[in-house]
Structure 1
Amino acid sequence: MTHEVITSVQNPQIKRLHQLLERKGREGQGRFLIEGAHLVEEALKSGAEVLTILYDSERDMDTACRRALENHPQDVQVIAASSAVLAKLSETKTPQGIVAEVKKYQADWNEWLKARATASEDLLLLLLDEIQDPGNLGTILRTAEAAGVDGVVLGKGSVDLYNGKVMRSTMGALFRLPVFTRSLPDVADEWKAMGGSLLVSTLHEKSMAYDRVDYVPKTAIVIGNEGRGVSAAMIERADQLVHIPIYGQAESLNAAVAAGVFVYEAQRKRKE
């Protein structure tokens, strides 16, 4: 753990870190930024590969973050930065006084699925079909982790998983929940080949109410795009089309709310 001091926004390292505020920069460097004491603490406690921490030299580092840093097994570069530097690396109106650079990591999907399928017959997955709103994605991940979902697969064409707003909305859930980015039709075919059931959320006339469905031991629930819904390719692969009844005048539910209703109903049925 090395300590440095940076006060200039023109510093080469600050310029490099600033690039991580954009998707292109995150993909090019294989790293992302998180902001706020809670997220930094969760990243450290989870064992994520935290590379750099910058904290406001005028505020000192958050006590919980410092404690988590002391217990972190890997070496982390620690920088005391000026408020101007932290403002350059922040996406919020009021910078929170601490930012961390974290290396991207995703487990191997095939190895993870094989290991989980061998260890347990009872699996619950959430498949997200082109979710576009970062707040929705972050909230879905936070809810999925809270509900005990085993894993989440983010379909191609979705918002960047490492978007700053996504990260803030997860409240650290991403560091505890397996999340994969893959082709959903391919995942659906693999899932069904191993005996899993695919439930697709849609308002199709042949769909069944969510509370009438038998959430069998291996269930994957598909949540669709906020505007277009679930793709035709996923509807074609469905074992059951399901929906949440609308009793008021709204046309549909927010994607994050719908995901929450489905996963908690699935867990309720499992516990009965």
Structure 2
Amino acid sequence: MEQEMITSIHNPQIKRLHQLLNRKGREASGTFLVEGVHLVEEALQSGAAVKTVIYDMDRGIDPACEASLRVYDRPLKRIAVTEQVLAKLSETKSPQGIVAEVSQHSVDWQAWKQKYEQAGSAFVVLMLDELQDPGNLGTIIRTAEAAGIDGIVVGENSVDLYNGKVLRATMGAIFRLPLFRLPLPAACEELGAMGTRLLVTSVHDGSVAYDEPVYDGRIAIVIGNEGRGVSPEISRLATTHVHIPLYGAAESLNAAVACGIMLYEARRQRKE
């Protein structure tokens, strides 16, 4: 395991890593930063492609992360830095003294579909239509993993999967779920060709309560943009439009809350 020490914020490696704090830099490099003991430990334990671990030389590496590093079976670089240098790579008010550079993980969409087609297996997929709030996206990913969902398709023009707020809200679930960034209409049509029923959340005329459809077989649940809901293009592809009844004065539910209700209804029915 390669070891290095850096004390200047002007070091070329630190400048390169600093660029990963914005989407353009992440897309150019194909990597992203995770910050904090828990997320770094989750990345190491999940087998994610961790390239570099950067830590505060005065604080050292947390024992939990150190234990994960000892058993990590891929080559990586350790860089000890000063508190000032680490602050250059941090987005939080109270940095925990450790950051890691991780390769953006990708699951092949066609291979994923083929696996289910060949096995004739059922699945529940979550499809997100232009979600904009990073906290919502991160919470949804975390909730989807907890509910045992089989995959998530994040549509174009959604908030970046590797935004720092998204990553922190996932609490490590991002390293364990199959995630796809795809044009949503095409993905919906491809799933439809596999016999997948598309449940679209909306207040569309004729929509039914979320617990009326039967969530068996192959199901795709579509959650729309926080402001305008599901786009008309996706709405037209729906097998069923569903809504969550509101019994108080609230006009709507937060996207992450609505998503959680839908996912756990699917889990409840499939469990029974």
TM-score, length basis structure 1:
0.98
Give the equivalent residue in structure 2 for 1:121.
121
**Cα-to-partner distance string for 1:184-235 (whole Å, 9 max, x where unaligned):** 1111111111111000000123110011111121000000000010000111
| Displacement after TM superposition at 1:154 (Å) | 0.1
Give the equivalent residue in structure 1 for 2:188.
188
**Cα-to-partner distance string for 1:82-129 (whole Å, 9 max, x where unaligned):** 111111100111111100000112111011111133235220000000
Give the share of equivalent positions with the same residue, in percent. 60
CA distance in 1 between counterparts of 2:156 and 2:149 reads 20
SS of 2:211's equivalent?
helix
What letter is aligned with 2:256?
A
Give the equivalent residue in structure 1 for 2:136.
136
Contact 2:41–2:64 (CA under 8 A) maintained in structure 1: yes
CA distance in 1 between counterparts of 2:7 and 2:251 reads 51
Mapping 1:235-250, distance limit 5 Å: 235-250=235-250
CA distance in 2 between counterparts of 1:179 and 1:249 reads 35
CA distance in 2 between counterparts of 1:55 and 1:120 reads 47
CA distance in 2 between counterparts of 1:220 and 1:266 reads 10
Give the equivalent residue in structure 1 for 2:55.
55
CA distance in 2 between counterparts of 1:266 and 1:201 reads 14
**Cα-to-partner distance string for 1:140-184 (whole Å, 9 max, x where unaligned):** 000000100000000001000010110010000010000000011
What letter is aligned with 2:118?
T
Give the equivalent residue in structure 2 for 1:207.
207
CA distance in 2 between counterparts of 1:203 and 1:86 reads 47
CA distance in 2 between counterparts of 1:271 and 1:55 reads 44
Contact 1:209–1:244 (CA under 8 A) maintained in structure 2: yes
- Structure 1 segments unaligned to the other structure (5+ residues): none
CA distance in 2 between counterparts of 1:189 and 1:164 reads 31
Give the equivalent residue in structure 2 for 1:163.
163
CA distance in 2 between counterparts of 1:26 and 1:123 reads 31
TM-score, length basis structure 2:
0.98
Give the equivalent residue in structure 1 for 2:251.
251
Contact 1:197–1:216 (CA under 8 A) maintained in structure 2: no
Contact 2:144–2:260 (CA under 8 A) maintained in structure 1: yes
Contact 2:116–2:122 (CA under 8 A) maintained in structure 1: no
Contact 2:46–2:175 (CA under 8 A) maintained in structure 1: yes
CA distance in 2 between counterparts of 1:143 and 1:49 reads 23
CA distance in 2 between counterparts of 1:120 and 1:5 reads 53
Paired positions, count: 272
Pairwise CA RMSD of aligned residues?
Answer: 0.9
Give the equivalent residue in structure 2 for 1:264.
264
Give the equivalent residue in structure 1 for 2:150.
150
Relative to structure 1, the CA distance from residue 147 to residue 120 in structure 2 (aligned partners, 3 Å threshold; closer, same or farther) is: farther
CA distance in 2 between counterparts of 1:217 and 1:65 reads 40
